[in-house]
């Protein structure tokens, strides 16, 4: 089955890095992805543009209303994700713990079971995150509720396992899809956060 690994990072700390530090951090993911691929564990991954660059769409009286800026104000923001294949949660946890992001700016990885996954994904364009409600239309990756999440948290240099999501949110991510930049989406029960893929 598939697991979605939502990577949370301290955006201020991430932005304070030098260009060469960022390049090294990004490069550290290449061997990790290669290893996942070799073991048939890899489905997709993306590094997201900062939260302040997000577009948020909400339905208001049946019409979409767009706002710009972070979906929710917080020091730690969703900074990227991995979609992986694993036979069970034990292996998913091992894969999350080995994520090189936890050696740099990631402070936590939330592991969410995927109720319905997808086979192939583009890795450029935008990611649309459905928040507060699921979207079952074709092409959407449907995540289990946050109550089923397990989070690997970096605390004082050590990794800890926490039962539940990284944080309780009024409108947690419930589904997502990767689309070409500027793709249409109609918000319904879910609010849609759109973030560019870096």
Partner 1 sequence: MTPLEALYREEHGRVLAALLARVRDLPLVEEVVQEAFAAAAEQWGDAVPRNPRAWLLRVAHNKAIDRMRRRAKFPEVDVADSLASAPEVDADVGDDRLRLMFTCCHPALAADAQVALTLRTVAGLTTEEIAALFLVEPAAMAQRLVRVQKKIRDARIPYSVPPPEKLPERLTAVLAVVYLIFTEGYAGLRGELCGEAIRLARLVCELMPGEPEAHALLALVLLQDARRDARLVDGDLVLLDEQDRTRWDLAMIADGLGVLDDALAAGAHGPYALQAAIAGLHARPPTDWPQIVALYDHLLALAPSALVELNRAVAVAMASGPAAGLAALDRLRFALGEDHLYHAARADLLRRLGRLDEAVRAYRAALARVVQPAERRFLERRLAECSAEPT
Q: How far is the CB of 185 from partner 1 (least distance, A)?
A: 23
Nearer to partner 1, 93 or 197 (CB): 93
Tell me the two tokens of residue 166.
């990284």
Are 4 and 142 in contact by the 8 Å Cβ rule? The answer is: no
Asked if residue 144 binds partner 1 (CB under 8 A), the reply is yes
Q: Report d(CA 177, CA 192) in Å as an integer.
A: 11
Q: Which of residues 54-113 bind partner 1 (CB under 8 A)?
A: 87-90, 92-93, 111, 113
Nearer to partner 1, 3 or 71 (CB): 3
Are 131 and 171 in contact by the 8 Å Cβ rule? The answer is: yes
Asked if residue 118 binds partner 1 (CB under 8 A), the reply is no
Are 22 and 15 in contact by the 8 Å Cβ rule? The answer is: no
**47 by DSSP, 3-state: which?**
strand
Q: How far is the CB of 96 from partner 1 (least distance, A)?
A: 11
The end-to-end CA distance of the chain, in Å, is 27
Q: Report d(CA 4, CA 142) in Å as an integer.
A: 10
Q: How far is the CB of 3 from partner 1 (least distance, A)?
A: 8
Other CB atoms within 10 A of residue 60 CB = 9
**Sign of the C-alpha dihedral computed for residues 52, 122, 81 and 45 taken in this order:** negative
Query: How many residues sit close enough to partner 1 to count as binding (CB under 8 A)?
Result: 21
**122 by DSSP, 3-state: which?**
coil
Which one of 8-16, 27-35, 66-74, 148-156 is the stretch in contact with partner 1 (CB under 8 A)? 148-156
Of 32, 64, 148, 169, the one binding partner 1 (CB under 8 A) is 148
Asked if residue 133 binds partner 1 (CB under 8 A), the reply is no
Asked if residue 116 binds partner 1 (CB under 8 A), the reply is yes
Of 155, 164, 181, 189, the one binding partner 1 (CB under 8 A) is 164
Asked if residue 173 binds partner 1 (CB under 8 A), the reply is no
Nearer to partner 1, 11 or 85 (CB): 85
**189 by DSSP, 3-state: which?**
coil
Residues making contact with partner 1 (CB under 8 A): 1, 87-90, 92-93, 111, 113, 115-116, 144-145, 147-150, 161-164
């Amino acid at each position: 089955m598939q697991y979605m690994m939502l990577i949370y990072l301290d955006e201020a700390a991430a932005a304070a890095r030098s260009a060469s530090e960022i390049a090294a951090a990004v490069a550290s993911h290449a061997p990790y992805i290669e290893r996942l691929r070799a073991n048939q564990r890899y489905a997709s991954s993306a590094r997201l543009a900062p939260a302040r660059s997000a577009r948020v769409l909400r339905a208001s009286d049946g019409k979409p209303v767009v706002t710009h800026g972070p979906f929710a104000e917080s020091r730690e923001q969703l900074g990227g994700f991995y979609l992986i294949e694993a036979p069970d949660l034990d292996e998913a946890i091992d894969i999350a713990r080995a994520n090189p992001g936890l050696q740099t700016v990631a402070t936590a990885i939330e592991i969410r079971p995927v109720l319905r996954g997808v086979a192939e994904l583009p890795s450029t364009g935008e990611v649309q995150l459905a928040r507060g409600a699921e979207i079952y239309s074709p092409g959407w990756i449907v995540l289990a509720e946050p109550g089923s999440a397990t989070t690997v948290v970096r605390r004082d240099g050590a990794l800890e396992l926490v039962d539940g999501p990284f944080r309780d949110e009024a409108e947690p991510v419930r589904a997502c899809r990767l689309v070409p930049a500027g793709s249409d989406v109609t918000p319904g029960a879910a609010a849609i956060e759109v973030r560019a893929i870096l």
